Amino acid sequence: MRLSTLTLLGLILPILRIYACNDHAHARRGGDGHGHGHEHGHGHGHEHEPSVPKGLSPPTRPLEWGDINILHTTDSHGWLLGHQKTSFPEPNYSADLGDFASFVTHMKKIANEKGVDLLLVDSGDLHDGTGITDGFPPGGVDAHDANEFVKMLPYDVMAIGNHELYIYANTLDMHENFVPALNGRYLSSNVNITVTGDDGNPLDIPVGERFAKFKTKHGRKITSLGVLFDFTDNDRNTTVQKVADMVNEQWFKDVIQEEPDLFLLVGHMPVSRDNWPLVFDAIRAVHPTTPILILGGHTHIRDCVQLDNRSMALESGRYMETVGWMSAKLDRKDSTDDIRFSRRYLDTNRVTYEYHTKKNDHEFDTSLGEKITNGLQDLSARFHLDTVFGTAPQDYLYLSAPYPSNNSLFSLFINQVVPVALQVNKTESAPPALFMVNSGLIRFDLYSGPFTRNDQFTIAPFADSFRYLSNIPLSDAMAAFNALNGAGDSERRQETEELVARHYDAIQGYERGEVDLIFNNWLKKMDQEIDVQRRAMKNLTLGYVTQDSCPGVGDDTQHATIPFFLDVPKFIVSEPPTGDDITSDTPIDFVFVDFIEGSILSILNSLQTEKVYTSNDTMRYSDLLSNAVLGVFAQEVWN
Ligand SMILES: *[C@@H]1O[C@H](CO)[C@@H](O)[C@H](O)[C@H]1NC(C)=O
Ligand SMILES: *[C@@H]1O[C@H](CO)[C@@H](O)[C@H](O)[C@H]1NC(C)=O
Ligand SMILES: *[C@@H]1O[C@H](CO)[C@@H](O)[C@H](O)[C@H]1NC(C)=O
Ligand SMILES: *[C@@H]1O[C@H](CO)[C@@H](O)[C@H](O)[C@H]1NC(C)=O
Ligand SMILES: *[C@@H]1O[C@H](CO)[C@@H](O)[C@H](O)[C@H]1NC(C)=O
Ligand SMILES: *[C@@H]1O[C@H](CO)[C@@H](O)[C@H](O)[C@H]1NC(C)=O
Ligand SMILES: *[C@@H]1O[C@H](CO)[C@@H](O)[C@H](O)[C@H]1NC(C)=O
Ligand SMILES: *[C@@H]1O[C@H](CO)[C@@H](O)[C@H](O)[C@H]1NC(C)=O
Ligand SMILES: [Zn+2]
Ligand SMILES: [Zn+2]
C-alpha cells in the first residue's frame, strides 16, 4: 500500500473522533481505553519508506512446519488492496496482495531450505465485495482485472466458489481467461458451464478441471478435487451437481482408486455442518489410512475439524483477513498412527508476514510483490475508487454497536442516510415519510475518515430501488414494520414469521449462498464465550478469538473479541415523523426497497381488510438506488 492522502487524513481524524460512552464502543477502539486508536494511522509505503502500521505486535509463536505445508486463502471477495482503515481491527488485516505475494515467495524459500513442500491453495469466491472487483466501467466483467493479479501468485490448486456462478459472464470469464493460467489446477469437480462448441452446438463441460493428480517438488503424489457445496442460485448455463451425486459418479470412483501419498481436497464448502463427510467417507471406503487434507470455505469463519486422526479440515475466514496454515508430518506409507498436524490462522499484516519469514521491513518486499501492489493501485485509480464523497466523523458499526444507537450504522443509515439522500434535488416539499429497508442491505462497517467510492462498494453494494405507497396511515405503516419484525402476541408472531419466511427466505437462504447468519452466529458465540479474564486483559487488541475443534490454539495472534450485538432485526425503520400536526392517522409516504416489497404488501393485507394492496399500488420514490445513497449523503452532510 502507498502512504496516500487518505492515510494522512487517517492520522489526523482519530483525534476528532466522537467517543461513545458505552463500554463496548470503548473496547472497539483498542481494548485499553487509552486511545489506542490514535496511534495507528500509518499505512506502509512501498516506494520510499516501508513501514508497518504502528502498534501491531508480532504473532505469539513460530509456525510449526511439517513435511507438507499449506498456505490457504478463501473468500477473498476482492479485498486485494488490504483493509485500509485506521480503526481496529482493520490495521490487523492491512496487507495487500503484493505483500502476500512477497510472503509466499519467502515462505517457499524457507520450505526449500528445510527440504519440505509448501503448497498455496485457494477455496473460491474471488468475485463480489470491493470496488477493485465490482467497480468496473460499463461493459466490463466483475473481477476480470483484479484476477489478473491473483494469477501472478503461484497457486498450486484453486477451487470454484458460488460467487463465480451468479452471473454467467463471470463464469465464462473464469473459464476462458482464468482457468488457463492455472495449468490444470483450477478445480470444479461438480460445476459445469455450457458454452458454444466448435460445431455451434451447446457444450456442457467442467468450468476448470474435475481433479488434478500431480507430484510436489519433493516427489509426493497428490490427488486433488475441487468441490462446491449444494448451491442452487447459479445462473442459467451453469450446473452444480449435488455432492452426494458427485461421489457416485464413475469418474470420481476412478480418480480416487489409485492411492496417492495424500488427498488434497479443496473446495468451497464449510468444514463443519456440510457435506465434506460424503467425500471423505467415499475416499476412506477405499483408502482407510491415506492422509486427507481438506481446505474449505464459504461461511467466512475460522474453523477446523478432524474427521479422523489421519485427516484435518481447515477453513480460513474471509476478505483477506486470514491466511490459513496447515502442516502435516507424514509418516511411512503404511502407517496407521495419528498424523501430527498443525493449523494456524494468521492475521494478514506485514508484522505477521515479516515475523514468520524473519525479514525486516526493508528486505521484505519482492519485485513480484511490488509489481502486484503497484498494479492494484493503478487499477484502483482507473476505477476511481479513491474518490472521496466526504469525511465520516466517527466509526459506524453494523454488528459491533447496539441498535439503535449513535454508533450503529443501521441507525445512521435508516434515520439519516436514506431520508437525506432521497430528498436531495426534490423541489416540491414531500409529504412526511417513513423509510424501511432490510438490514441485509448493509455488509460492512463504516469507519471514521474519508468515505470513498470503494467504501460504498464494500458497505452497501446492492442495487435496490426505492418504492413507496402513498397515503398510508402512519400507524398502519408502523404496525406493518412491527409485525414483520415478529413483534406482538405469539400467535400473530408465528403467522407473520411464516409470512416473512415465505417472502424473505425465498430470496435469501443457505442453498442460495447466504452466509451472514452463520458468520454472525460465530461472532456472537465468540463474544458470549470469551472468558472474563481475556476480556479484561488490557494488552489485548480486537480481533477474532477462534474456538474450533482441533487441538491447541489456532489463532496466530491473541486478541480480545470484537463485541457483537445480535439484536439487529431483519428490517429497520426510520424514526416516525414528528410535529404538531402528526398523529397516528396522518397519511404518510411509506418508502421501502423493492427487495422487500412483497413482504410489505402481504403484511399490510394481513393487517387490514379495507384495501387489497398489490404491486400496482407502489411507485418509484427516487432514481437513486440503495448502492448510491451513502455517497450522496456523505457529499451532502460530511463535506
Ligand atoms: C492486531 O492489532 C493489534 C493492534 O494493537 C496488535 O496488538 C496485534 O498484535 C495485531 N496483530 C498482529 C498479528 O499484528
Ligand atoms: C445456453 O447456452 C446455449 C449455447 O451457448 C444457448 O444456445 C442457450 O440459449 C443458453 N440457454 C439459456 C437458457 O440461456
Ligand atoms: C459436466 O460435463 C461433463 C463433461 O461434458 C459431463 O459428462 C457431465 O455429465 C456434466 N455434469 C453435469 C452435472 O452437468
Ligand atoms: C484421535 O485419537 C485420539 C487419541 O487416540 C482419540 O481420543 C480421538 O477420538 C481420535 N479422534 C478422531 C476424530 O478419531
Ligand atoms: C446521540 O446523538 C444525539 C444527537 O446528537 C444526542 O442528542 C444524544 O445525546 C446521543 N446519545 C448518546 C447516548 O450519546
Ligand atoms: C442533484 O443535482 C445536481 C445538479 O443538477 C447534480 O449534479 C446531482 O448529481 C444531483 N444529485 C442527486 C442525488 O440527484
Ligand atoms: C498479555 O499479558 C499477559 C499477561 O498479563 C501475557 O500472558 C500475554 O502474553 C500478553 N499478550 C500479549 C499479546 O502481549
Ligand atoms: C396491475 O395492473 C395491470 C394493468 O392495469 C393489470 O393487468 C394487473 O392485473 C394488475 N396486477 C395486479 C396484481 O393487480
Ligand atoms: Zn464468500
Ligand atoms: Zn461462498
Give the pLDDT confidence of 377-430 residue by residue, as tens digits. 999 999 999 999 999 999 999 888 989 999 999 999 999 999 999 999 888 888
Residue 367 CB contacts under 8 Å (≥ 6 apart), including other chains: none
577-621 pLDDT per residue, tens: 998 889 999 999 999 999 889 889 988 998 888 999 999 999 999
Tell me what pLDDT residue 41 has. 28
Spell out the SS3 assignment of 153-179.
Answer: CCCCEEECCHHHCCCHHHHHHHHHHHH
Whose CA is closest to 267, among 159, 156, 190, 164?
159
CA distance 486 to 303: 32
Nearest-CA residue for atom 7 of ligand 2: 202
DSSP 43-78: ---SSS---PPTTPPPPSS-----SEEEEEE---TT
Would you place residue 268 in the very low, low, confident or very high pLDDT band (cuts 50, 70, 90)?
Answer: very high
Q: pLDDT-based confidence at 497, cuts 50/70/90?
A: low
Question: The domain 5-19+388-504+570-637: what is its CATH number?
Answer: 3.90.780.10
| Span of 56-60, 326-330, 575-579 with lowest mean pLDDT | 56-60
404 or 505, which is more confident: 404
Domain-by-domain residue ranges, the chain? 5-19+388-504+570-637, 31-382
User: What distance in Å separates the CA atoms of residue 17 and residue 369, rounded to the nearest whole number?
Assistant: 34
93 CA → ligand 7 middle, Å: 21
Q: According to the model, what pLDDT value does residue 463 have?
A: 87
pLDDT in tens, 162-171: 999 999 999 9
* Mean pLDDT to the nearest integer, 349-370: 96
57 C-alpha to ligand 1 centroid (Å)? 5
Give the least confident one: 32-41, 220-229, 293-302: 32-41
pTM metric for this prediction = 0.85
Count of C-beta atoms within a 10 Å radius of residue 147: 22
CA distances from 134 to 131, 169, 179, 455 (A): 5, 13, 20, 12
Residues with CB under 6 A from ligand 6: 424-425, 624, 632
d(CA 319, CA 130): 9
The residues that bridge with 322 in the sheet, in sequence order, are 347
Q: Which CATH class is domain 31-382?
A: alpha beta
CA of residue 347 to ligand 9 center, whole Å:
18
**What average pLDDT does the chain have?**
86
- Which residue has better confidence, 91 or 392? 392
Pocket test for ligand 3, best of 171, 190, 191, 192 (most atoms within 8 A of CB): 192
- Closest atom of ligand 3 to 192 CA is 1
199-222 per-position pLDDT tens digit: 999 999 999 999 999 999 999 999
Q: What is the 616 CA–ligand 8 centroid distance (Å)?
A: 6
Q: Which of 5-19, 45-59, 614-628 tops mean pLDDT?
A: 614-628
The answer for 106, left when phi > 0, alpha when psi is -120 to 50, beta otherwise, is alpha
Element (H, E) at 294: strand 292-296
Cα–Cα nearest to 410, from 397, 423, 429: 397
Band (pLDDT 50/70/90 cuts) for residue 440 is confident
Cα–Cα distances (Å) from 454 to 378, 380, 388, 512, in that order, read: 14, 9, 9, 26
CA 134 from centroid of its chain's CA atoms: 14
Q: For residue 631, how many C-alpha atoms fall within 13 Å in the half-sphere facing its CB? A: 18
Q: Is the model's pLDDT at 373 over the cut of 60?
A: yes
Place of cell 484435518: 312
